[in-house]
Amino acid sequence: MKSNLSLLKITFIITICLSFSSIKIFAQAIQQQDSKETSQKFAAALFYIENFYVDSTNSSELVENAIVNTLKELDPHSAYISKKDLNAANEPLEGSFEGIGVTFQLFNDTILVIAPVPGGPSEKLGILAGDKIIKINGDDAFGSKVNNNYVMERLRGKKGTMVKVSISRNNRKELIDYEIVRDKIPINSIDATFMIDDNIGYIKLNRFSKTSMEEFHASISTLKSRGMKNLILDLRGNSGGFLNTAVELSDEFLEEGKLIVYTEGLKSPRQNYEATHTGDFEKGNLIVLINEGSASASEIVSGAIQDWDRGIVLGRRSFGKGLVQRPFQLPDGSVIRLTSARYYTPTGRSIQKPYEDGVESYYLDLYKRQKHGEFVHADSIHFPDSLKYLTPAKRIVYGGGGIMPDVFVPFDSTQYTDYYSDLIRKGVFNKFTVEFANKNRELFTKKYPTFEKFNTDFNIDNTTMDQFIELGKKEGVEFKEEQYKLSDTFMRYQIKALIARNIWDVSKYFEVLTDVDDTLQRALDLIKKKNMYSELIKTH
């Protein structure tokens, strides 16, 4: 009897398992059938449009529009990239392009060389900052026809190909002809590396590209050789990039075995990313700067630093992108970047902000935050208790819409007046500083043989400011005295910083602005006041 009951029990279990298996197979068959019918439905609709529509149609365009609008229905970050746009979309992340290797600016309808890229083909041939490209392959390259696309199409090209340019130089009467063989040109993801004082280093990273870690190691090595003991990592305005680069950068700060981030989706099993035994800056005080423009990979790094109590995150609440995209190539060479998973910080936080109300509402979120007063007042930000998480040091951190910094620094709206904004919008700062640097380049390099001497000794005087204001008026910017007074100091620093960028490099721009960067000054204050830093971290 006992044997029969056991047999009956086993038979029942097998029957149940077979039933579940049958249901699963049946469900999969239905899903496959639905998918097949949907594909056939779309193909049939396209066939009828092509063969019976009253006017001519472009099938390729119709399909692209259908793909674009379908992806919009999924989430704000799934996207379609056409074959012709793919290279331009990938360049910032690949970390290079192919061309002659100059940073340029259009000045009075003329191509002005701001600087040759170090080690690039133009620098090797002796092309200098301040040179004007007047002809390209024998054709005039100035006037109203010249825009950014015009320059890109003619100066960029495959490695090994040649382009002829004729250049006007200030101290030469005749044009100088060059034959430049194009090469691979790096796009740096680190904007600035410098020592703020004897032991505090600063690195500004603008994106997470394939070359970012190579650049980071070089920057850290340089700073350590100059005595760096503490680091400020600036991720403000960094909209992200490669997930693996974010993991590698986080690994530089965290001890072996610590979880950096994990990803998971309905059709993507959980994948953990952990710190390895190597790290260039696992000791020493660390502050990460973020703001509302810091997204994705920036949030992975700042989230990992915050969750492990490794450093202080300082600034304003980050963007809130916690979705991972995976590229899929379509038959014609175009690509869809499809959201395949969500990522979670070490404490289990998802920092993806809601997107149920549509793409437009999603991207208006920053405007709503500003209008609500969040950029100025930290207490205007409220998180429900359900989004509270605890770090190992028992600090409270929050999920559900960006990384909330440990120390909030408000946006100083007083210096960003309408007058200042109008000058920026009309390009007055760039026009003025490019011309100023170009006219005074030789004088500057003699009087200020080093940037350090320039930064210490040179200031924007009232005569220079009067010239700047006059240019603004010529460009249609009405002078507003009261607003000018509020923005005066900040504008002088901006002009000085842009001159430094045009004569030296972009890193010097940020170095000049150190004194008027409120967020950076707050970070410096925290590092120098060790008790305050330790209290915020609450290390064991």
So which residues are the catalytic ones? 296, 307, 321
* Assigned token pair, 72: 């919009």
- What is residue 513's DSSP assignment? G
The span from the CA of 130 to the CA of 175, in Å, is 14
Owner of token pair 């090209």: 157
Kindly report the backbone phi and psi dihedral angles of residue 460, in degrees, each rounded to the nearest multiple of 5, phi listed first. -80, 115
Question: Is-contact 513 497, C-beta < 8 A?
Answer: yes
Distance CA 462, CA 447 (A): 20
Phi, psi of 70 (to 5 degrees): -65, -45
Tell me the β-bridge partners of 181.
162
- Among 218, 202, 114, which residue's Cα sits nearest to residue 437? 114
Look at phi and psi of residue 327 and say left if phi exceeds 0, alpha if psi is from -120 to 50, else beta.
beta
Q: To which residue do tokens 């007083």 refer? A: 414
Q: Which of 175, 168, 247, 232 is nearest to 201 (CA)?
A: 232
**Could you tell me the two tokens for 191?**
């904007």
Strands 230-234 and 286-290: parallel
Q: How far is CA 118 from the centre of its chain?
A: 22
- The residue whose two tokens read 């460009």 is 475
Distances from the Cα of 507 to the Cαs of 78, 427, 512, in angstroms?
34, 21, 9
DSSP letter assigned to residue 241: B
534's CB contacts (< 8 A; 6+ apart) are none
Cβ atoms of 157 and 98 within 8 Å: the answer is: yes
Compute the distance between CA of residue 411 and CA of residue 290 in angstroms, rounded to an integer. 12
Q: Are 291 and 319 in contact (CB under 8 A)?
A: no
Please, how many CA atoms are within 13 Å of residue 459, restricted to the half-sphere of its CB? 7
Strands 79-81 and 396-398: unpaired
Residue 402 CB neighbours (<10 A) = 27
